[in-house]
Amino acid sequence: MQFDPFRAVLGPVLGPTARAGYEYVKDKVTAEPERPQPRPQPAPPRTPASHPASPNATQFQNVPRMNPKATELYNEILAYPSTKANATQAREIAIEVEAASRAFGIDPKVMLSIIAHESGGFDTRAESHSGAKGLGQLTGVAIQEMRRLSYDPTYAASYPRSNSERQHYSDPDIRAVVERPNVQAIFQRLGASEENRYDISDNIWGSAFYARISMDRAQENRNGDAVVLGANGMMGRYNGADLAERRAHSAGVADAYEDMFAQDIPSTLRPTV
């Protein structure tokens, strides 16, 4: 047995009970066994990434889910021949076209076809030789008209016009939409900078309002969500164009509709030029 100086000195003094306590404390302090290291846990299995063309893919997890109509538009944008929109752009285009078309009483499929034709396949940076920009190829003249007909309080400050030229839109439903301050702000941003015309949301809302203006001026009637297209074509700047130009533009929109939805543009929407 190994010699213990504490036991030799204190043992006779403390007695057997204290000596037993000493043995317990000594053992707890000096003889604690080494703790085994925890075994590494296997990594959780990886969830397969969603297909990038899915409207509810992982990159959109913090974005509200699209309604069925917007989802349909989204899928057609990505499937469109030579589409220039990526998945993120296609999602925003689909959401905004569905919302703006509903607000202005335009068939969303027709509105999407107008944008597809105007932008050459959903090119958000599209620009024509005349300076028209963005998905709906907006011009300064068109934006000026939007601001005038939306009763924009800043209209006179941006154009050399009198505020008396501002007009309330004749259709009460459209007037209720375009005279909201947040909608007026869209038209103001489009007029403030040409670069703003490349913004997807602002351009689509401006384009939808301009399409509504053009259709109403051509005395084309609304039937629910459908728009009856008359002899003046679909977009206002073609109202003053010659017959060949109007036919070419309307045919381009009809072709885009057929490419996306695999059917002829409905008879109530088919241009008669």
Sign of the CA dihedral running 237, 106, 116, 144: positive
What pLDDT, in 10s, does the model give residues 161-177? 777 789 999 899 999 99
Q: Distances in Å between the alpha carbon of 110 and those of 77, 85, 218, 240? A: 13, 18, 17, 21
What is the Cα–Cα distance from 40 to 38, expressed in whole angstroms?
6
CATH architecture label of 67-137+183-261 = Orthogonal Bundle (1.10)
Q: Which sequence spans correspond to the domains of the chain?
A: 67-137+183-261
Spatial distance between the Cα atoms of 231 and 250, rounded to a whole number of angstroms = 10
Identify the pLDDT of residue 78: 97
Query: Each residue of 45-79: pLDDT tens digit?
Result: 444 333 344 555 555 555 667 999 999 999 999 99
Tens-place pLDDT, residues 76-114:
999 999 899 999 999 999 999 999 999 998 889 999 999
More confident residue, 157 or 99: 99
Q: Are 58 and 50 in contact (CB under 8 A)?
A: yes
How many whole angstroms separate alpha carbon 41 and alpha carbon 38? 9
